[in-house]
Every structure is written in C-alpha cells, then in structure tokens.
Amino acid sequence: MKKLVLTLGILVALVLAGSQQTLLADGCPPVGYAWECAVVITINPNHTLSFATYPGGFLDGVDDPMVEVVNDTDFSVNSVYLTGVGVFAFNGDGLCSGLWAGAPAGCPFDLTTYAGPGTWFSNYNSLGNFGDVNFTGGLASGASRYFSLEEEPTGGNPVSPIPEPASMLLLGSGLCGLAGLGRRIRKA
C-alpha cells in the first residue's frame, strides 16, 4: 500500500512539474518549424511589458517569430505598441501565408497574413520598426493571444486599459452632477 501511495505521489508530482514547464511558451500552436512561441510578452499589473524569448518559435527556423501576449493585469486591453528593427516589415511569409503546415483554421485574419485569431495590426511605419497589435474585443484579464511578426520585438510602451462599464457609469454620473451644480450656481 505504501508503494502505491508513493508511486501515485511521484506520478502526480511529475505531471504537475511537466504542466508547469509547458506553460512557459505554449500559447502558440506548432506552425511551420515553430513548436512554441519565440517571444512571450506579458502585460504586467504596473502597466509595463515584459519580454521572454524561447528558441523554438520561428516559423522558418530563423526569423518570423511566433509571439504570444499574456494579459497579467486586472483589466482588458485593446492593443500593445511594439518596437524593434523590422518587426512589422511584413514580406508575405507570416503565420497565415499558406507556406507553413499547421496554420490555424480561419486564416488569414488580416491582409498581412501575420495576424493570429482575434488580432490585427495598425499604425506601423514603412520600415516596420514600430506598430500596434490590436485585440478584437479586447484582451481580457488573464487571457492571451498569439500572432507572428517579421522579427523579434525588443520594446514596447505601456498599454491603456479598456474602461469598465462601472467606471464609465461613475464618470457619467459625476459629469451629470457637475452639470447640475453648474446650473444651480447660474440660477443663484
């Protein structure tokens, strides 16, 4: 009986250890030569971005990284602003280009062929050194989305949250109160 309990305990520990290890960069499906995300960007509670890199997440084995964005805040996010040399210099060999086995169902998600499900790009310059990654419907707290880029992003700016309905109601009622106060002062 003791051997059985010990064996089960070891088995559970191995399963838990294995699942923790796979949580690091598993938000991207295997596509092309990529078997994980090359870059995991975390939106931190203090409204900054953290970047972690992994070796096995490049569509062609060299560049075109698979990227995951994880929202570790307590609010939804509309977009992130990313920078890096040639990050948005799309040349047609992205996630949904048709060149890679394992592309997600529903491809392409935008005209660049680099967007993943629920993502799209905007405001990128002609050199592709900066731009926005947008999340359709917002990226909820604790959620993640993946996509591909031409090169690895090296920086980014803090993001602004999507206002909650309760916050908008509070703001609206405050403005109505100020308008009422203004009317009362004018009458007096």
- The whole-model pTM stands at 0.72
pLDDT of residue 49: 94
Per-position pLDDT tens, the chain of length 188 = 544 444 444 444 443 343 332 334 568 999 999 999 999 999 999 889 999 999 989 998 888 999 999 999 999 999 999 999 999 999 999 999 999 999 999 999 999 999 999 999 999 998 999 999 999 999 999 999 999 999 999 999 766 555 555 555 556 667 667 676 667 777 77
Task: Tell the burial category of 67 from Cβ atoms under 10 Å away from its Cβ (0-12, 13-18, 19+).
Answer: buried
**CA–CA separation, 74 vs 142, rounded Å?**
8
Task: Decide the pairing of beta strands 66-71 and 39-43.
Answer: parallel
Task: Tell the burial category of 63 from Cβ atoms under 10 Å away from its Cβ (0-12, 13-18, 19+).
Answer: middle
> Do the beta carbons of residue 31 and residue 107 sit within 8 Å?
no
Task: Tell the burial category of 20 from Cβ atoms under 10 Å away from its Cβ (0-12, 13-18, 19+).
Answer: exposed
Domain boundaries, the chain: 29-173
